Every structure is written in C-alpha cells, then in structure tokens.
Amino acid sequence: EDQVTQSPEALRLQEGESSSLNCSYTVSGLRGLFWYRQDPGKGPEFLFTLYSAGEEKEKERLKATLTKKESFLHITAPKPEDSATYLCAVQAGWRGSTLGRLYFGRGTQLTVWP
C-alpha cells in the first residue's frame, strides 16, 4: 500500500497554462514533506521542504503548499523548461530512529509544450 500518492501520473500543459500537482500521504508523525524536480537521466534536484500544515514556499513559477494530508505544487504560467518529473517525499518518525523514514511518491511527469 502506497504511503505517498502523486497525481496525476502525467500532465501536459500548454505554455502559460497554470495547474497544480497533488501529493497525498497517509503516514503519521509527519516531520517534513519535500518536493524534487528530476530531469531525464539525472538525479532529483531538491526544491522545497514544508514542515507543517498551512506552510507555503515559492521559487520562481513554483509554489508548494501543505495541508494535514496533502501537498500541492502549483505551477504558474509554466514554460517548456519546467518540463520534468516532480517527486514528492514525506519524512515520518520511525522506530525511534533519528533519521526517520522517508516515503517517496512515484512522481508526476510534466510536459509543457510551446
């Protein structure tokens, strides 16, 4: 059973067409939620950390928000260079480990066409 679910699996947008990606989670004891961008053949690139419900973070055309059970990555007026796979990961407490446990979603593949 997936602990972190991302939707949609794939999204095609025209340049300038704003939209949102969703990351919902069922893990308890949330410590933090992370968003990453991954280009083909590359490692994931860290974008944001969100710690508690109501928090928001922004970077250029991206804005991440967090509620108690889900996070959204809003993309405003996207450009073709925003095309990538966006991954969500949730860090939760685990067995007293200071590292916690990190659960990854399977990602949303975003394509922005001109």
Partner 1 sequence: SQTIHQWPATLVQPVGSPLSLECTVEGTSNPNLYWYRQAAGRGLQLLFYSVGIGQISSEVPQNLSASRPQDRQFILSSKKLLLSDSGFYLCAWTHSGTVISPLHFGNGTRLTVT
Which residues contact partner 1 (rule: CB under 8 A)?
Answer: 31-32, 34, 36, 41-46, 49, 51, 87, 89, 91, 98-100, 102, 104-107
3-state secondary structure of 99: strand
Question: Residue 61 Cβ, how far from partner 1 at the closest point, in Å?
Answer: 20
Question: Residue 15 Cβ, how far from partner 1 at the closest point, in Å?
Answer: 27
Q: Which is nearer to partner 1, 46 or 113 (CB)?
A: 46
62 within 8 A of 73, measured Cβ to Cβ: yes
Question: Residue 32 Cβ, how far from partner 1 at the closest point, in Å?
Answer: 4
102 within 8 A of 91, measured Cβ to Cβ: yes
CA distance 33 to 51: 6
Q: Match 């280009």 to its residue by tokens.
A: 39
Question: Residue 31 Cβ, how far from partner 1 at the closest point, in Å?
Answer: 5
23 within 8 A of 4, measured Cβ to Cβ: yes
Q: Which is nearer to partner 1, 2 or 17 (CB)?
A: 2
